[in-house]
Structure 1
Amino acid sequence: MTEAAGAFRPPWFCVLPDDDAAGPVARRLARQDAARTLQHSSGRPWLIAFGWGKRLRTVAAGPLKVVLIGSCPVSAARLRVLADRAAETGDEEELAALPGSYYLVTSRRGVRSARGDVAGLNRLYYATVDGVWVLSSSPRQLAHEVGKGVDERWAALRLLAPHAPAPLLFSRTPYEGVKPVAPGYAATLSASGRLAVTRSWTPPTAVLPLEMAAERLRDVLAKAVASRVASPPVASVQLSGGLDSAALAALAARARPASTSLLITVGSRAADNPDERWARRTARLLDGVDHLVLGPGAYPRIFQDLQDAQFALDEPASFASSAARFRQTLRVLAEHGSGAHLNGQGGDETLVAPLSYLPQAAGRSPYRAWWHLRGHAALNRTSSLSLAQAAASAGTYRQWLIRAADRLTLPASPAAALAGWEAPPRLPPWTVPEVVRDLRHELLAVAETAEPVSEDIATHGAVMRIRSVARRASLYRDAMEAAGVPGHFPYLDRAVIETALATWPEERTDPWSPKPLLTAAVAPLAPPGLLVRRDKGHYNHEIHTGLAAHHRELAELFTGSALGKAGLIDEGAVRQALAEAATRRIPPAFITETVAVELWLRSARP
């Protein structure tokens, strides 16, 4: 069922304790949307789910019950073998490390456990409902049960660009009374109904040289692609023209030798954007593909039809300003009957290390690190000295958080943005002073006890970049589901992420050779000359032409806005910035993220 049918609701599930007190909430949930109910051994409801269809799979092995929810290509026979092994050993790690992107929910002797994926495409939430703990894939569903509304303090946090630091990003949800389970953590309900959230995944240590890592990536990425596209009669790839999408297109064509794959490219209005030219070149080199280019002249602009084109999602979507464009792409995919659409989001974040790797690289090879330093500085239009100083002075994670708290409204230096623990969080200039002050105090408070994902600064930075893009990709996927098009992001599979993180960062990141790990892995499986692009396209032209064409609608959006009524922004400052966008150097993300939060607040209902 699609959103256009008027009755679309995103799939969801809830996990309940084996307790009579959970009866009322279980009955309410089971009445909604013809939900499917799985039971505890006692007969009480254990898991109530809606909308997953064949993507919800179950297997029982002795005292262990296993539920996989999402995209996982493992066969029924293999799943049973793994469940039997987990029942015997008590170790569920093999079940959690399967290819794909899915939730794992288990029940064993009264103890229920649930976890999402390590990237954060499939996130979990929890809340107390009628006095019992309930786990869910949907914060909106939990908010409805709790009877709470939108947390406006979270909306303020969401204005931070490119994203809030980890201790804040994974400590709150858009709804009051609903808490998140951070990616890489599992939530467990004990037999007595108590809730515990514990770490279930630790990123690997970088130990692999390029050649060994490329062999491993070749295997896991090819399987990640084939598992999605081999079966559907029609499969498609979003072909931007970059290396990430070109690799996916090549692997998809290889996985479907008897079928044609659809490659879809969105053209650009910018004469100097080479993406379309590279996309056409990729399509010519591949056998068994049809290439469809959506011409920019007949394609909506960014910021067009803002209020009419939005999707009903659990939180603001970064693509909200491009919703009309996205809807047109989805209509084309639906018309062609795509049963699996691959997207290269996550490729940059997974395959390329943050530049905070430079100090540790210097310990292994000083000359190579110096050569990389010079190249990265040139590419990012900063000096080698500034970049070296930024990389060497990042300090501890807590020190970095304290500095970030004191610089929320200051311009980020290019070097500091490249070589810190995370991307420096910044608030747009129209944020009211009280909100700046409150967020600063909140960040200083969490800095006292914050722990990084990894003590290695480059690994922590890489994982945070992956989780930030996965958060955006999950909303992209949910919007695709509303149109009846299954979306997939192979670069965010656990095996792909772990392979990249296990590779020495100076081996998978090279200023003189774009994405050496990807090219070394996929080139043997692709036509000669396919993965040779060395530059990247950009979309600033699309944003600025959209601002110019739809300035009036944007100004109206911030006249009596939800953000203004909540006391989070100065509407006059927003309108002035929009009027001066052509000459004033305001990061586009400030505008697009503020638009996203505003549009979502207007429509959000628990």
Structure 2
Amino acid sequence: MRWFGGCAPGKQPVAPVGARLVWRDPPMWTVGDDVPGHLRTLERPNGKLAIFGPCSATERDLELALSSRAFASAAGEWAGSYTAVGVGPTGTVELVTDATGASPVYTVATPDGHVWGSSAFALASLAKGTVDTDWMGAYLRERNAPAPGGHSAWAGVRPVPPGHVLAWRPDGTPSLTQWWTPSAQPAGAAVAALRWALSEGVRVRVEGVPTTSDVAGMDSTTVALLAARHGQVTGMTLHPADVTDGGDLRYAQALGDEAVLLTRFPLTTRHLPFAEASVPLPATDEPAPSTAVWAMFSEQLRAVATAGSGCHLTGDGGDNLFTVPPTHLVHLARRGQLLRLVRDSMDWARLRRQDPRPLIAAALRGDAGRIGRTKRLRPTWLTSEIPEPVMTTTTDPDALLVASIRNVARAAKSELQLADALGVALHNPYFDGAVMDAVVSAGAEVRFSARRYKPLLADSFADVLPRAHRRRASKGVFVGDFHQGLRLNLRHLLTLADGRLAAMGLINPDPLRATMHAAALGARTVWPPLLSAIAAEAWLAAVERGPRTEWAKLHQAGAQ
């Protein structure tokens, strides 16, 4: 697994066995093969800094950030997805997390001081090395609701909040402050900011690197075309093997860009959800969202690796940013714009085939958190020890969007770890902090439309996307594949019901088996909690198989 980390100053340092040192004072290291250009350092008499991850900063930008009195703000404004670390002349260390949490950082307290790193799984062997049951219970109940504050999937391993700076004095005393907050700007300025952030985020990943990209919906197509400005891109479109036209294939063929070499990845029954993969599921920091489709995803990754890709781009995160519920209704109610409130409520309700009255009532109450959110019934297989999720009640649509993006972006890191295990550098530019900052700055009323598909993205890249893509209004639905995949693999899936989650006292096997049987027969199924249970069980098996990180005192660690 490729990851990085370090120790707080002031005490006896430790390091992973076999790590490569970036600095010895304060101790900082990398593990795994470094991606060229994704580790940058600068050392001057007034301090030093390190940037981990793809970042648009120029050498001049690094110089200015190092000399800035507000290092966190200066180092957090660049495009890309990265973690910045600065060391002052007195030995104070500042660790700056990205705004979205797509590059998560964790800490663990040891008798020798605090250790931080980009992998919770790697740090877990310094703590108890056991799964945090509170986190797991929250994940099983509602994976899109916040986990208990200060928890990761591993007991004793604490996440550093996104958009914060964790600082240590020379004696190791820590402090935590917030450096990023949403800001507002006119729609035109937000469009320009989004165009810069996504374009630069793609550029710093693909320049001089053999690049592949998903080419399917508007999101992945946009990043593929942006990448094509810097060299040849191999675009990959997934499609059912018996379908040779229409759907995503039709939109891919409409690109008309010679810099994007289109390829197809036909899907057969062996790629169905829950099918047995030829590659065991690798261990990751937490259950990966793609666990149910690992048979398909792993074959796609191997095809990408065979193509010699040094960077594979996805459109993940685009739906979360640009297909948003009408939380702006709260603002309309507050300003007394009742005619538009009713009109937008009716448009959304018609689109979703639901009653508009609950939307209007929630807007008048100022409860943005209940708009566009479907409350799921408690799954029958969860035990009583798992509490109900804590749903945010807020009047701030921006805060809701930020919380949603952060939850999804953190989970997406496990997808990058899956790809890394197969030798693929996977990238999700839509989870970049500068991209989220630009989208949030546009305001909820600009982001929402029931009449146009992803208007903010379409307006920002009107000259990049072909007309057919700008006018696209939907994407594929694959619920039928999940029913079929579960039916074909039911025997194996039923054995998971009596597995590790049951032993932890988190699920009741009989109701879970009954739900699986019903889904296999095609009954209407609430998939998210069922997928969470299956993913968690597979993840627990993976981390049992996965090698644990070995640690030693720095002078004994064999660090290079």
Whether the 8 Å contact between 2:73 and 2:180 is mirrored in structure 1 is no
Q: Structure 2: how far apart are the matches of 1:186 and 1:278?
A: 46
Q: Secondary structure at the match of 1:563?
A: helix
Q: Structure 1: how far apart are the matches of 2:531 and 2:244?
A: 23
Partner of 1:250: 225
Relative to structure 1, the CA distance from residue 230 to residue 532 in structure 2 (aligned partners, 3 Å threshold; closer, same or farther) is farther
Does residue 384 (structure 1) correspond to residue 356 (structure 2)? The answer is yes
Pairwise CA distance, 1:243: 1.5
| 1:431 aligned to which of 376, 379, 382 | 382
Pairwise CA distance, 1:262: 0.9
Partner of 1:113: 94
Matches within 5 A, 1:295-374: 295-297=266-268, 300-305=271-276, 309-362=280-333, 363=335, 365-374=337-346
Task: Give the TM-score taking structure 1 as reference length.
Answer: 0.83
CA deviation string 1:529-586 (max 9, x = no partner) = 442101221121111111111111111222x300111111011111111111134333
Letter of the structure 2 residue corresponding to residue 33 of structure 1: G
Partner of 1:484: 423
Partner of 1:188: 167
Q: Structure 2: how far apart are the matches of 1:273 and 1:563?
A: 43
Matches within 5 A, 1:54-453: 54=36, 55-75=38-58, 77-86=59-68, 89-108=69-88, 109-165=90-146, 168-205=147-184, 207-209=185-187, 211-232=188-209, 234-240=210-216, 242-253=217-228, 255-256=229-230, 259-268=231-240, 275-283=247-255, 285-297=256-268, 300-305=271-276, 309-362=280-333, 363=335, 365-393=337-365, 395=367, 416=370, 418=372, 424=375, 427-433=378-384, 435-436=385-386, 439-440=387-388
Q: Structure 2: how far apart are the matches of 1:555 and 1:51?
A: 37
Whether the 8 Å contact between 2:326 and 2:371 is mirrored in structure 1 is no
Relative to structure 1, the CA distance from residue 157 to residue 601 in structure 2 (aligned partners, 3 Å threshold; closer, same or farther) is same
Whether the 8 Å contact between 2:6 and 2:27 is mirrored in structure 1 is yes
CA deviation string 1:494-547 (max 9, x = no partner) = 221111111132222110011111111111233444421012211211111111
Q: Structure 1: how far apart are the matches of 2:286 and 2:278?
A: 16
Q: Structure 2: how far apart are the matches of 1:600 and 1:529?
A: 40
Relative to structure 1, the CA distance from residue 74 to residue 301 in structure 2 (aligned partners, 3 Å threshold; closer, same or farther) is same
Task: Identify the structure with the greater helix proportion.
Answer: 1
Whether the 8 Å contact between 1:251 and 1:526 is mirrored in structure 2 is no
Q: Structure 2: how far apart are the matches of 1:37 and 1:536?
A: 44
Whether the 8 Å contact between 2:342 and 2:360 is mirrored in structure 1 is no
Q: Structure 2: how far apart are the matches of 1:382 and 1:545?
A: 28
Relative to structure 1, the CA distance from residue 364 to residue 483 in structure 2 (aligned partners, 3 Å threshold; closer, same or farther) is farther
Relative to structure 1, the CA distance from residue 278 to residue 359 in structure 2 (aligned partners, 3 Å threshold; closer, same or farther) is farther
Pairwise CA distance, 1:391: 3.0
Whether the 8 Å contact between 1:318 and 1:472 is mirrored in structure 2 is yes
Letter of the structure 2 residue corresponding to residue 177 of structure 1: G
Q: Structure 1: how far apart are the matches of 2:268 and 2:287?
A: 28
Letter of the structure 2 residue corresponding to residue 478 of structure 1: Q
Q: Secondary structure at the match of 1:511?
A: coil
What's the Cα RMSD here? 2.6
Whether the 8 Å contact between 1:306 and 1:321 is mirrored in structure 2 is no
Q: Structure 1: how far apart are the matches of 2:118 and 2:377?
A: 29
Q: Secondary structure at the match of 2:116?
A: strand
Of all paired residues, the percent bearing the same amino acid is 26
| 1:39 aligned to which of 24, 30, 53 | 24
Q: Secondary structure at the match of 1:580?
A: helix
Whether the 8 Å contact between 1:340 and 1:486 is mirrored in structure 2 is yes
Specify every segment of 5 or more residues in structure 1 that has no aligned partner in the other structure, as ranges: 1-9, 401-415
Partner of 1:586: 525
Letter of the structure 2 residue corresponding to residue 573 of structure 1: P
Q: Structure 1: how far apart are the matches of 2:39 and 2:71?
A: 21
Q: Secondary structure at the match of 2:234?
A: strand
Pairwise CA distance, 1:273: 11
Q: Structure 1: how far apart are the matches of 2:377 and 2:108?
A: 30
Letter of the structure 1 residue corresponding to residue 20 of structure 2: A
Pairwise CA distance, 1:105: 1.0
Q: Structure 1: how far apart are the matches of 2:372 and 2:361?
A: 11
Whether the 8 Å contact between 1:61 and 1:83 is mirrored in structure 2 is no
CA deviation string 1:103-145 (max 9, x = no partner) = 1111111211213211111111112112412222222222212
Q: Secondary structure at the match of 1:155?
A: helix
Whether the 8 Å contact between 2:19 and 2:29 is mirrored in structure 1 is no
Bigger CA drift: 143-152 or 502-511? Answer: 143-152
Letter of the structure 2 residue corresponding to residue 68 of structure 1: I
How many residues of Structure 1 are paired with residues of Structure 2 in the alignment?
Answer: 540
Q: Secondary structure at the match of 1:250?
A: helix
Letter of the structure 2 residue corresponding to residue 326 of structure 1: F
Pairwise CA distance, 1:84: 4.5
| 1:497 aligned to which of 436, 442, 456 | 436
Specify every segment of 5 or more residues in structure 2 that has no aligned partner in the other structure, as ranges: 549-560
Relative to structure 1, the CA distance from residue 282 to residue 295 in structure 2 (aligned partners, 3 Å threshold; closer, same or farther) is same
Letter of the structure 2 residue corresponding to residue 562 of structure 1: R
Letter of the structure 2 residue corresponding to residue 120 of structure 1: G
Relative to structure 1, the CA distance from residue 60 to residue 90 in structure 2 (aligned partners, 3 Å threshold; closer, same or farther) is farther
Whether the 8 Å contact between 1:267 and 1:294 is mirrored in structure 2 is yes
